Structure 1
Amino acid sequence: MSRQFIIEAAMVAFYGELLQPSESVEYIIPYTSILELYELQSTSDIIMSNLDQDQHVKQQMKQLTTYLEEPLNRKKIERALQIPWAKSTSIPLGDSIIVTVINAVDTEAYGEDFDPIETELLLTAQRLQIPILTDQFEFIQRIIEGGLPVQVFDIEDFQFAIEDNFFTPHP
């Protein structure tokens, strides 16, 4: 059984170690974070601290969006977009990784404390009882300070997060 994490699509593109897990992993990605990839890869703003890294990350984002646009993958995603909270069927992203896209709905449940994608991550984590994986320290801090009923891991703790004794994976 694979470990499951709620994650933004950009994180999968930014962090190569997420594509080489020590165990099988399923990344559940809100659809709106995939849309954000298109914005990030086309911006003239520098995302990373150095130009070479920036170009590499934008290329990784382009590869991910191109892969998700392939006819079979696109069909799986479009089917999920028909119903709020529907999940796509699994999209393989390597030997031990699958991606599932969820049509999460921002209900503004957290008001101005969290942006719309953060809200979708939180609501998805609560709904599916699956931890969030992020590199956003401020986001993690706001979750903890708010006492929100979700489990969250920093990407730096990814290997630690997939160990057996930290949470029970859900089918």
Structure 2
Amino acid sequence: MSKTFIIEAVMLAVHGQLMLPGQPVTYIIPYTSIQELYELQSGSEPIMLEEEDDGFVKQMIGELIAFFEEAFNKKKIEKALSMPWRKSPPLPINENVTLLVVFAIDNEAYGEQFDPIETELILTSIKEQGALLTDQLDFIERIIQAEIPVQAFDVADFEFAVEDDNQV
């Protein structure tokens, strides 16, 4: 059975190990985080500290954008955009990784504690009963402090999260 994680699209470019899990994984990605890829690719701000790493991540972002823009995938994503909280049909990456794009809506449920994409990640996690996967420890800390009923994992704990039988 596939494990489900809620994640930002950029995490797939930054953390290559997420594309090579030991067992089937489904990543649910809010559409707005795909839009953010375009900003990150064209922006002058570095994404990574090391110039070589930054160039590689921007290349991976370009590959992800190309994947999402492929005619068949684009058509699937557009289906999700027809109604709030609708998910795209599965977008398989490889034999163990499938993406679903969700047209999440930030309803300001968590006020000023979280930015709009964080709010969409939280709401998607609640709605889809999937664990959040992030590399932002402060985001996980704020979720815990706000007592939001979602399970969240640091990307560094990805292998544990995939094997965790107690996952939501």
TM-score range, shorter chain: over 0.9
Cα distance in structure 1, aligned partners of 2:67 and 2:20 = 17
Unaligned runs of 5+ in 2: none
| Residue equivalent to 2:150 | 150
Cα distance in structure 1, aligned partners of 2:85 and 2:14 = 26
Q: Cα deviations across residues 88-144 of structure 1 (Å, max 9, x unaligned)? A: 000011121000000000001111100000000000011111110000011000001
Q: CA deviation at 1:165?
A: 2.0
Q: Cα deviations across residues 23-47 of structure 1 (Å, max 9, x unaligned)? A: 0000000000000000001111111
Residues matched between the structures, number: 168
| Residue equivalent to 1:133 | 133
Residue 46 in structure 1 maps to residue 46 in structure 2:
yes
Q: CA deviation at 1:166?
A: 2.2
Q: CA deviation at 1:164?
A: 4.3
TM-score, with structure 2 as normaliser = 0.98
Q: Cα deviations across residues 58-103 of structure 1 (Å, max 9, x unaligned)? A: 0000000101100000000001000000000000111210000000
Moved >6 Å (runs of 4+): none
Q: 1:117-128 maps to which residues of 2 (within 5 A)?
A: 117-128=117-128
Q: 1:63-102 maps to which residues of 2 (within 5 A)?
A: 63-102=63-102
| Residue equivalent to 1:28 | 28
Cα distance in structure 2, aligned partners of 1:129 and 1:100 = 14
- Give 3-state SS (helix, strand or coil) of 1:10's partner: helix
| Residue equivalent to 1:13 | 13
Unaligned runs of 5+ in 1: none
- Give 3-state SS (helix, strand or coil) of 2:166's partner: coil
Cα distance in structure 1, aligned partners of 2:56 and 2:160 = 26
Cα distance in structure 1, aligned partners of 2:58 and 2:166 = 33
Cα distance in structure 2, aligned partners of 1:129 and 1:96 = 20
Cα distance in structure 2, aligned partners of 1:121 and 1:52 = 29
| Residue equivalent to 2:116 | 116
| Residue equivalent to 1:163 | 163
Q: Let me know the Cα RMSD of the aligned residues.
A: 0.8
- Give 3-state SS (helix, strand or coil) of 1:166's partner: coil
Cα distance in structure 1, aligned partners of 2:8 and 2:45 = 19
TM-score, with structure 1 as normaliser = 0.96
Cα distance in structure 2, aligned partners of 1:167 and 1:7 = 15
Cα distance in structure 2, aligned partners of 1:156 and 1:133 = 10
- Give 3-state SS (helix, strand or coil) of 1:41's partner: helix
